[in-house]
A and B are shown apart, each in its own frame.
Chain A
């Protein structure tokens, strides 16, 4: 019963029509937003040009403010990746992957996901090249890639913009989300792709 339902849901969502509709909405969203915001502003007698320039001024400050935070995070992650330590971490954690019936090959994808978006994409591409995009490994790797954002990058940029250095439980919350995302990806891929 649940199997039939999930299969039907997958078929509906994986249909190119769904993608076409979503892409259509995405393409129209920004022109629509610009139209409504500028028009409503103008009708309500906002001096649109002057106010725009006034707001845009902050863009430079925000971008500059982020730099130290982003340098700190990206340097540490870049060094970690270059050292080859990821390989050791995979060896260390691989016994755990069998427990949840996760192919050991996809573990680096899960471990890299919170650290580096481009790094993860590299691993996913490599896996799909070796095993084929329609293999279980290829599908699971693709799903894990789409399951969360690059936690440390988002943290550096968002908190950097606000000048937040003491992040309290933010890292833990983000990593719990990443962990659950990987678990959920393994679970749903096992059900749908077998």
Chain B
């Protein structure tokens, strides 16, 4: 699907750019965006290193395992392919909590670590597993309790109550999150998703442990 969307965005941009006479802007945007992408990635190095270091201590100290066991029932339901008590579950839980608290700086490194640990269970090098997609869905539609940025803009523009959108935001983001998770669990049952599932030949989580 990403192939089609990427193709679509690019073709529409070029054709509309030609018709609108904005081709120069389109080309400039391509060059600038590429530079911005690298800046964003490089900007992550420090914070990534810090959190990955802390996570390693938490792992060696056994905290991640304890965390993973604590949410076993939820994890078993959402991520049936992951073996009980796998460190990926602990990392995912820390990522989700950080997101809820609005700690984006901590949430991303923790989430990337979790995704990497999910990858260690993935027999394919380049195809997403059901667990990885469900975890991504939780992050693309994560529940936001305090949308700080937009509250700040509202306050700046003289809103009588900049905070009044908190409750509506919690409602909308909760709906979005439930919908995204449900969609990921339902869409994995489609024939095309089944055929591309890298774990299609592995019956259950136990099997993965045996293969280790």
Contacts and interface: CB of A to CB of B under 8 A. Distances in A.
B71 interface: no
Interface string B102-143: 110010110110011011001011111000111111011110
A16 B163 CA distance: 7
B161 interface: yes
Contacts of B9: 76-77, 79-80
B208 interface: no
Interface string A118-133: 0001001100110011
A30 B44 contact: no
Range for the number of chain B residues in contact with chain A: 35 or more
Given A14-B167, A145-B150, A174 B140 contact: yes
Of the listed residues B1, B102, B147, the one surrounded by the most CB atoms of chain A closer than 10 A to its CB is B1
Contacts of B36: 74, 78
Of the listed residues B106, B151, B184, the one surrounded by the most CB atoms of chain A closer than 10 A to its CB is B184
B37 A67 contact: yes
B22 A14 contact: no
Interface in A162-194: 162-174, 176-185, 188-189, 192-193
A153 to B, nearest CB: 9
Interface in B10-56: 10, 12-14, 16-17, 20, 22, 25-26, 28-30, 32-34, 36-38, 40-42, 44-56
Contact of A144 (B28, B61, B122, B172): B172
Contacts of B37: 67, 70-71, 73-75
Contacts of A107: none
Interface of B: 1-2, 5-6, 9-10, 12-14, 16-17, 20, 22, 25-26, 28-30, 32-34, 36-38, 40-42, 44-63, 97-98, 101-103, 106, 108-109, 111-112, 115-116, 118-119, 122, 124-128, 132-137, 139-142, 144-147, 149-151, 153-154, 157-173, 175-181, 183-184, 187-188, 190, 193, 196-197
